[in-house]
Structure 1
Amino acid sequence: MSKRGIVAAPLAGLPLGLGLHLAGANEAANLAWMAATLPVLAKLAIDIVVSLRRGEFGLDLAAALSMSAALVVGESLAAAIVALMYAGGQHLEAFAEGRAQRDMTALLARRPLRAMRFDPDGLREIPAESVVPSDRLLIRQGDITPVDGVVVKGIAQLDMSALTGESLPVRREVGAEVASGAVNLGEAFELVASHAAEDSVYAGIVRLVEAAQRSKAPMSRLADRYALGFLAVTLALAGLAWLLSGEAVRAVAVLVIATPCPLLLAVPVALVAGMSRAARHGVLIKGAQVIEGLAAIRGIVLDKTGTLTEGRLRLAGIVLADPPVCDEGALLQLAASLDQASPHVAARALVDGANDRGLALAVPDAVRETAGEGISGRVGAHHVVLGGWNFVASRIALPELAGQTPVPDGAPVVVVAIDGRFAGRIVLSDRLRDGAVDVLGELRALGVERVVLATGDQRKIAAAMAAGLPFDAVLADQSAADKVAIVEAERRHGPVLMVGDGVNDAPALAAADIGAALGTHGSAASAETADMVLLIDRLDRLPLAVKVAQRAREVALQSVVAGIGLSLLGMVMAALGWLSPVQGALLQEAIDVAVVLNALRALSD
């Protein structure tokens, strides 16, 4: 029987018994109240047996004792009220969880199921899971992109709100990447799949959501762990009241008020509400336990490229040789033309820079590339060499730089040689993310005591990028294993949050107390390993997530303290004979409703 289903018996039996009681049929009324209680008690007993077999000792036992004791001493009305209280609480919890998870379950409802594929004999509709890389798809108006891919024909006007939370449509032209799960708002366009459906962004997000919905919060387990102590206090107070007064009904009243629904309901409702609020702002948190961990973070380790920075190199400037071989436009045109043949991130920066300046690029010939070092080839009548200083120096004699115009310290540089002569240097930059300084300041204000930058970049580059930022340490030339060691070392100061986006960040994300990945452009490995994923490619989601977590935990604790405090006060009053079992049950009902409604405040901004 479901949480919603068990409420039917007390909901029907309680008013029926009251009607019979008012009509003077007291025995029939008692039978109606017993009939209202027994199904709930039976379901509760089954749940307790199942929990005990798993080695879990839960607070549900107190509710079972209160109903059983009330029936034994003839307080069937009190037993029925407790049954309605418990069953109604379970129903309310299911309702509250459903409301809190609506932002995340919307992702599941939008799961793309079908795709229109170009086959040799024309268009054919196929299941989305049948799409494989290199398939050419037609994305019609209103369709959800079934897989990640690249626009090859037409212009895509996309609603990315389910993925990123951004309300405004996004435009993607030919050559641009499109993530699965986006809705086509404009005319039909054609997409070439780059991933299978199960490996695409949206499928990964769905897996994270499903994992989040299966989670159980540590605070809930903590409540269960201390259930034996709470039950011992309850039984001691009930036994003392019975012993001193000689009235068993006082002990029953104590048991009735001791039903610990504030712990059973308020904690999961508040934490799931926090998860939903975070999802509404583009932060996917994998489980309720992450909310608690995030609220207690005291240290943060940040990756640089793609996390602190945009992770995309841009053309920052051109420094010509002295004396010059050609002007800036000619140098960039030749370099970018050759770099069209290279997949390197610096090559993309040069091509984009040339396109931005409206330069016409030629098709290169006789291209030879040494991965990670440089490239050479012919562009029209010219022989061009691009790359790092050592790569170019191995092919031509380079001048001493002492007499040349300097470039910014630590900036990435592409050296250019044309027809065997040093022609100049193209300076690139990886821009700091907008608002990075403010983000670090906000994190400090939220209780983060240490912020560390850990990057695989060279020391000069890392130092130049971190200049003026409030880091406690800047650690360069770090491997994936080094980052794990940094996380372990920082843990001595308190719980650590690791933020990264690359495959090499995945081990550190797993090692940290909480791992956060940038999911929009980050690797699948980092997103799957992390405890939370920033679906909006903005660093300001980080302090927002911490703030949401702290509020959810604060609301949960408020609900628990207030609820248990009021319950203890009611137990004392019942022990003194000031509350009957029926009055105690009604009081506990009011307490339960109040704490669950308070827990739902975690949904609000």
Structure 2
Amino acid sequence: MEDLQGRFVVYLFGAGSLLLAAGGVVWALDEDGAAEALWLAGTVVGLVVALVATADAVRRHRPTVDVIALLALGGALAVGEYFAGAVITVMLTTGQLLEARAEARARRELRLLLERSPRTARRREADGMVEVPVDRVAPGDAVVVRTGEVVPVDGRLLTAATLDESALTGEPLPVEQAAGDVVRSGAVNAGAPFDLLATATAAESTYAGVVRLVEQAQASSAPFVRLADRLAVVFVPLTLLLAGGAWALSGDPVRAVAVLVVATPCPLLLAAPIAYISGLARATRIGVVIKGGGTLERLAAARVVMFDKTGTLTRGRPQLVGTVTASEDLSADELLRLAASLDQMSPHVLATSIVSAATARGLALEMPAEVAEEHGYGLRGVVGSHQVALGKRSWIVPEPAPAWAQRVRRRASLDGSMTVFAAVDGEPAGAFLLEDVIRPDAPRMIHGLREAGIRRVVLITGDRSDTAETVGRIVGVDAVHADCDPGEKLEVIEAERASDVAMMVGDGVNDAPALAAADVGVALAARGATASSEAADVVLTVDRVDALADAILIAQRSRRIARQAVGIGMGLSLVAMAAAAAGLLPPAAGAVLQEVIDVLAIGLALRAVLPGRTHTVTLAPADVTIGHELRDQHEAALPVVEEIRTVADQITTQDPQLAPVRRLLVRLRTDLLAHERADQEQLVPLVARALGETATYALTRTHAEIEHQVARLTRLLDEIPGDAAAPEDVVEVRRLLYGLYGVLRLHNAQEDETAHSLLPPRPDRSTPTARRRAR
């Protein structure tokens, strides 16, 4: 039915344009009678179109300016101004054709999305591979994806894969991803068949969420499309009064028709929608889906932004921040390799974090055997020749807990970390500390929001107050509301809305009520669309929160251009109406002039398609390559930083052995300092080119401080003969190590915020070794 309506609009536009053009040709041949007949037919076509549109508005009890076109066409027929009527017909059908084309394109895109949604999946079972409906795939199932197939559910790779994610990210080139990487449904297998461990059902996976978002966005009404209707209450009576006055004062009905002809409000019908649609398209290109023109208008007017903490200002998923070993018999990397190998078979979020950390460091993982889960405690299995177990401290470490386990527990308590303890061959071997770290681009995003006109930034979270206050101080918010349940969040939102247009940003299911309560709800859905995405007005499909600042700038610019186009177009129309009322503009000339005004207004509106000011800094391709390489080196050096703290914790005055410190010093010189010097030579100039020289001062200063502290540690160890040391020497060594550790942690945060946040995202941020472009 919709396709039939679309074809009918095309036929009407074609008929009106053909009759107008044919009449012009015949008139040029001095066949005035035939020309008038053709233009008369064109006027009748337009009259039918306007009559149907007006009747539909009356049926819906909606004011409409189509009544002006109806009166203009009727008046043109009455006074014999058929050429003017034919021109009005072309104007009307052009607008309807544009709307029909936009709707058809939206329906086609949704149909393509639905057609490529996978219906079945190949699941590995004990008796072989079985094809099952996709909705029967559960988390923990092993799925095989063949060449050319769409990934059916979100999951983690059990084998390496080459994927085309263009349907999700817009990136046209396939990417290679290693075993352990997280994969989103909707990606296409562009390489050999691979195995996938499902981490979500089909309904909860990314691609199903994308389809729901598109359906919802299409179903939402866009107030700007009928902006003319909202002004009809004022504009229609004004037009009728002016036309009637001109007729009454002059006694010439042609003047009234001329007023109606130039009053046809095409700048409202076309210019405003074009400007807003252009803004929506530009926002979509940067990964921000805005659900309709009304939302875009509210986004442009927002002055207060409220954030949930988890997943918005923080990454929203645990990240490995430390590995503690029980003894020197097993290195931190080897413990991580064994744990990640076992965790490949677990869909748990902590398991995903451990696997991602291991693959990021380039560790060679093995497929485990005899994997068994102890519900409520952990996971056990065989990796190579070792029995490995991962889980709670009470399951792994017997009481009384040894000193290293007590240090892990104390550190986790102070830092708010989660812990996973590990045993190898039946003996406690160490522990992993994981945290939900602050997004590196969060502080820059807050700065960008303030530059875009946001006057107040508020953090609302159910997390404990000390953690929330720390995050708030680092990113730079104005107020923090912690320990909030969903009801208390709604109270804070209502209070903020009372002062100004307020926007709420979240990413979880629990954020859906808050997003719906705000004037503008913004959801982060880069890792999958949830209930928050469907309740939100704006959805970020990229894993960069600073895109929100750019979306606000785009919305403000689109609104400004729409108002300019409408104001200038309608202003000129009002001048033309006055001229027509005074008898200076006949209907035929008025129709042509109105077409010129329409073209001018549309041209002004089309400026919204052009790029405008944005918050995002665009790096040169060479700088992006260098930046990614240095960030990979940065991540590879993070274990050395954590080793500093581990060594400092282990050395004591009771057993003053400095051999671990001397081994650490070798790594500091060969690995850490080499990376920091490369940063100073390459990363600092890159930041200077992007942000200016002043943005590099802090990085340069901390690079110098790191060199200084390593030199001091070197001199101190050179003055201590052998590996045995006096208690006061141990105290001084520990002081230097803890100081160096603190400087490095601060410096790494500076690099993340100042430099790494400038880099465009890659397919899986956690796996640098797997981000090579497929050739």
Where does residue 34 of structure 1 map in the other structure? 40
Label 1:384 to 1:552 Cα distance change in 2 as closer, same or farther (>3 A): closer
Using the alignment, how far apart are the partners of 2:550 and 2:174 within structure 1?
A: 23
Partner-residue secondary structure (3-state), 1:157: strand
Using the alignment, how far apart are the partners of 1:418 and 1:123 within structure 2?
A: 33
Label 1:585 to 1:394 Cα distance change in 2 as closer, same or farther (>3 A): farther
Asked if residue 271 in structure 1 is aligned to residue 276 in structure 2, the reply is: yes
1:298 and 1:496 in contact (8 A); partners too: yes
Label 1:327 to 1:189 Cα distance change in 2 as closer, same or farther (>3 A): closer
Residues 311-354 of structure 1, C-alpha deviations (whole Å, 9 max, x = no match): 2323323578xxx8778847994998599598764565456557
Label 1:107 to 1:160 Cα distance change in 2 as closer, same or farther (>3 A): farther
| Bigger RCO (CA 8 Å, 6+ sep) | 1
Q: If the length of structure 2 is used for normalisation, what is the TM-score? A: 0.67
Residues 176-232 of structure 1, C-alpha deviations (whole Å, 9 max, x = no match): 432222122222323455556554322321232233234432234453132031011
Label 1:563 to 1:463 Cα distance change in 2 as closer, same or farther (>3 A): same
Partner-residue secondary structure (3-state), 2:474: coil
Shift of residue 392, structure 1, vs aligned partner = 11
Q: Which amino acid aligns with 1:237?
A: L
2:472 and 2:480 in contact (8 A); partners too: yes
Q: Which amino acid aligns with 1:172?
A: Q
Shift of residue 245, structure 1, vs aligned partner = 2.0
After superposition, residues 211-226 of structure 1 pair within 5 angstroms as 211-226=216-231
Where does residue 598 of structure 1 map in the other structure? 604
Q: How many residues align?
A: 594
Partner-residue secondary structure (3-state), 1:190: strand
1:413 and 1:425 in contact (8 A); partners too: no
Where does residue 557 of structure 1 map in the other structure? 563
Using the alignment, how far apart are the partners of 1:601 and 1:138 within structure 2?
A: 48
1:155 and 1:174 in contact (8 A); partners too: yes
Residues 354-411 of structure 1, C-alpha deviations (whole Å, 9 max, x = no match): 77595999999998665xxx769999899998459xx999964799999x98779543
Using the alignment, how far apart are the partners of 2:213 and 2:207 within structure 1?
A: 10
Partner-residue secondary structure (3-state), 2:498: helix
Using the alignment, how far apart are the partners of 2:420 and 2:184 within structure 1?
A: 35
Where does residue 83 of structure 2 map in the other structure? 77
1:439 and 1:539 in contact (8 A); partners too: yes
1:410 and 1:464 in contact (8 A); partners too: no
Q: If the length of structure 1 is used for normalisation, what is the TM-score? A: 0.84
2:324 and 2:431 in contact (8 A); partners too: yes
Asked if residue 17 in structure 1 is aligned to residue 17 in structure 2, the reply is: no
Using the alignment, how far apart are the partners of 1:122 and 1:343 within structure 2?
A: 21
Where does residue 183 of structure 1 map in the other structure? 188
Using the alignment, how far apart are the partners of 2:256 and 2:391 within structure 1?
A: 90
Shift of residue 175, structure 1, vs aligned partner = 4.2
Q: Which amino acid aligns with 2:74?
A: S
Shift of residue 532, structure 1, vs aligned partner = 2.0
Using the alignment, how far apart are the partners of 1:328 and 1:446 within structure 2?
A: 52
Using the alignment, how far apart are the partners of 2:484 and 2:26 within structure 1?
A: 77
Where does residue 500 of structure 1 map in the other structure? 506
1:409 and 1:464 in contact (8 A); partners too: no
Using the alignment, how far apart are the partners of 1:279 and 1:123 within structure 2?
A: 39
Where does residue 443 of structure 2 map in the other structure? 437
**Which residue among 57, 65, 82 is the counterpart of 1:59?**
65
Range moving further from structure 2, 213-222 or 190-199 = 190-199
Shift of residue 510, structure 1, vs aligned partner = 1.4
**Which residue among 528, 531, 538 is the counterpart of 2:534?**
528
1:332 and 1:350 in contact (8 A); partners too: no
Label 1:562 to 1:408 Cα distance change in 2 as closer, same or farther (>3 A): farther
Range moving further from structure 2, 15-24 or 536-545 = 15-24
Gaps of 5+ in 1: none
Where does residue 8 of structure 1 map in the other structure? 14
Label 1:358 to 1:331 Cα distance change in 2 as closer, same or farther (>3 A): closer
- Percent sequence identity over matched residues? 42
1:78 and 1:582 in contact (8 A); partners too: yes
Range moving further from structure 2, 48-57 or 360-369 = 360-369
After superposition, residues 46-445 of structure 1 pair within 5 angstroms as 46-94=52-100, 108=113, 111-112=116-117, 117=122, 132-133=137-138, 138-152=144-158, 154-191=159-196, 197-317=202-322, 329=331, 333=335, 337=339, 340=343, 345-346=349-350, 349=353, 356=361, 370=376, 386-387=392-393, 396=400, 409-412=414-417, 414=419, 427-445=433-451
After superposition, residues 440-519 of structure 1 pair within 5 angstroms as 440-519=446-525
Q: Which has the higher helix share?
A: 2
Residues 80-133 of structure 1, C-alpha deviations (whole Å, 9 max, x = no match): 11112222333345557778x69966963873456573699998989x867744
Q: Which amino acid aligns with 2:581?
A: A
Using the alignment, how far apart are the partners of 1:385 and 1:144 within structure 2?
A: 34
Asked if residue 589 in structure 1 is aligned to residue 595 in structure 2, the reply is: yes
2:198 and 2:347 in contact (8 A); partners too: no
Q: Which has the higher strand share?
A: 1
Partner-residue secondary structure (3-state), 2:458: strand
Using the alignment, how far apart are the partners of 2:379 and 2:288 within structure 1?
A: 44
Shift of residue 505, structure 1, vs aligned partner = 1.0
Shift of residue 569, structure 1, vs aligned partner = 0.8
**Which residue among 540, 548, 551 is the counterpart of 2:546?**
540
Label 1:20 to 1:360 Cα distance change in 2 as closer, same or farther (>3 A): closer
